[in-house]
Structure 1
Amino acid sequence: MAVQFMYGVLVPVTTPKPKLPPEADNGVWSLYVGDLDPQVTEADLIDKFRLIGPIASVRLCCDSFAGDSLCYAYVNFFTSLDSSTALCFLNHKELKGKPIRIMWSQRYPLTRKTGIANLFVKNLHPSITSAQLQSMFSKFGKILSCKVAAENGKTKGFGFVQYDSEQSSMTARNALHGTLVEGKKIYVSKFAKKSARTVAHGDAMMASLEGQNKNLFIARTQQKEIANCHIEKLKASSLAIKNSTHPVHYSSFQSLGEDLIKQKQHRNTGNRSFVWNSSLHMLER
């Protein structure tokens, strides 16, 4: 134990311990290995990971009925040092031409399932890989998982970064949101599950439709009142003309109606045109 003098007194110096991986399960340290090529076998995984150290076991997860690979596996080491080294040096490295994604196997995956400390990153340049994305975000805290979404070898322009704490994720979001990366301004936000996004979008749509229906109701009510007002004026004018000895000319009524239609033409509401035309038709009859 190291010591140092402070105010003439010997005091012990404690060095901070590095963050340990999750607790070992049955004496082995387990890694989750995802984004595997469908053709990867357990033998391929053993050949890849045994260069790090002795492997306790490898399990490639497959469909229970068809037997096809589910494209993820678990690799177990005897020591935390070997598992940490594998995570450090093999994460995002290629296996059968496809980058693999490695993270600590979580016995209680509450954080992963709830999306806590998980960020959504979009508007990424096509050249950005998962390894580059992790390097970009790693300075803000310990990353549990990092991935750039891809399909048929081509990136989709968005990815996900999950930290071990909410504080780290918010620090990264505040620092990197709106920054330029390879000439593109990236967008960083808290990750939300598809179900939550669907509900939020549905609520917004309902609110929008309710607002539109309310405005439409008000507009139709107002136009009906205006139409009735002009019809009453036209009727009053026609009665005065009928009582006179001069012939009735409905052309003046027609021009008045056309003027009113032109005033409302910019709103392009078929209902308004119908109201005016029907009122003129009533008068001419």
Structure 2
Amino acid sequence: MVIQHMFGVPVKVTESKPAPPADNRIWSLYVGDLDPQVTEADLMDAFRLIGRIASLRLCRDSFTGESLRYAYVNFFTSLHASTALTFLNHKELKGQSMRIMWSQRYPLTRKTGIANLFVKNLHPSFTSGQLQSMFSKFGRILSCKVASENGNSKGFGFVQFNSKLSAMTARNALHGTLLKGKKIYVSKFVKKSVRTVANEETMKASLQGQNKQLFIARAQQEEIVNCHTEKLKASSLPAKNSTHPVHYSSFYSLGKVFLHDYEITGPNQTEATNQYRETKF
């Protein structure tokens, strides 16, 4: 309190405290998996019950004007945004369940699939909301959904956490869990492009291995043919000073005939070849 003199009379003046700085931050939510018929007015009616909305944008195709089935809803306070995320996530709007998460300005985590889990063998009646409820005890979830088509579950879904530790903890705890009579499978999510490359490399390695085995088998067969050709030659040598020459032109083909009787293709080829080598003629 300060004493000032006005016209020679002392006056008490109370100092006013400075106003707290205004919070100009906008809290943005991503709203996806919308029904194609949902409009801006529908979204406004659903979200304004939570609190005052700063802005709302339903993303549309720039040429056709058709909805791209996702929108951004911005609130003035984090409380209202958090409340909307808690109470409206996976709620139906025009018969379609909405998927809501915090808008990520730099969505590197979402695109790279870090801390993202793939869950399959889900019961057809299992919903995105139930999936979120089951996994939320292990950490903060960025996104969660059960894949569906024409309103019917495909039997698998995705759960993305904000940290790898939460994702691994959830995987270790829930993999193999019996849920509505079905044992669920939980694993680290792998992007389709990465899976395609991995499958191609595996197939290439498999073909190379098969070609190598085929080459070895052919070499073994050739060796056996040569071996039996020499045996036939030795057993058919003329006596000393014999005047009857021996022709060896058919020995090689004859050895192949013997081999054909024992030839086996497939995984047991090597074993059969070894047994054949040990056969006494």
TM-score tier by shorter-chain length is 0.7 to 0.9
- Equivalent position to 2:165, from 164, 167, 179: 167
Compare CA radii of gyration and give the structure with the larger one.
Answer: 2
State the AA in 2 paired with 1:144: L
Percent of aligned pairs with the same amino acid: 73
Amino acid at match of 1:179: T
Q: CA deviation at 1:268?
A: 9.7
Deviation at 1:261, TM superposition (A): 2.8
What amino acid maps onto 1:264 in structure 2?
E
CA gap of 1:26–1:209, structure 2 versus 1, over 3 A, is farther
Larger helix percent: 1
Mapped pair 1:71 → 2:69? yes
196 and 257 in structure 1: CA distance in 2 versus 1, 3 angstrom threshold: closer
Residues 16-55 of structure 1 correspond to what in structure 2 (within 5 A)? Answer: 26-55=24-53
Aligned partner of 2:221 in structure 1 is: 223
TM-score if structure 1 supplies the norm length?
0.77
Question: Offset of 1:238 from its aligned partner?
Answer: 4.5
In the TM superposition, residue 54 of structure 1 has moved relative to its aligned partner by 1.6
Which residue of structure 1 lines up, in the alignment, with residue 12 of structure 2?
none
In structure 2, the residue matched to 1:183 is 181
Mapped partners of 1:219, 1:254: distance in 2: 19
Aligned to 2:272: none
Are the structure 2 counterparts of residues 60 and 26 from structure 1 closer, same or farther at C-alpha, using a change threshold of 3 Å? farther
The unaligned stretches of length 5 or more in structure 1 are 1-24, 270-285
Q: Give the secondary structure class of the aligned counterpart of 1:147.
A: strand
Deviation at 1:99, TM superposition (A): 0.5
Give the TM-score, by structure 2 length.
0.78
Q: Tell me, in whole angstroms, the C-alpha distance in 2 between the residues paired with 1:189 and 1:181.
A: 16
For residues 11-38 of structure 1, the C-alpha deviation after alignment (integer angstroms, 9 at most, x for no partner) is xxxxxxxxxxxxxx95321110000111
Which residue of the partner structure matches residue 146 of structure 1? 144
Distance (whole Å) between structure 1 residues aligned to residue 121 and residue 211 of structure 2: 36
SS for the counterpart of 1:159 is strand
Letter in 2 for 1:219: A
SS in 1 for 2:125: coil
Name 2:105's counterpart in structure 1.
107
The residue identity in structure 2 corresponding to 1:77 is: F
**How far apart, CA to CA, are the structure 2 residues paired with 1:101 and 1:240?**
92
Deviation, structure 1 residue 40:
0.9
Give the secondary-structure state (helix, strand or coil) at the position aligned to 1:56. strand
Counterpart CA distance in 2 for 1:53 and 1:259 is: 90
Match of 2:55 in 1: 57
Give distance in 1, aligned partners of 2:243 and 2:259.
27
Rate the CA distance shift 1:238–1:65 in 2: closer, same or farther, 3 A.
Answer: farther
Corresponding residue number in structure 2 for 1:136? 134
Partners in 2 of 1:172 and 1:191 — Cα distance? 13
Please, what is the CA RMSD of the aligned residues? 2.9
Partner of 1:116, secondary structure, is coil
1:42–1:53 Cα change, 3 Å: same
Residues 266 and 112 of structure 1, relative CA distance in 2, 3 Å threshold? closer
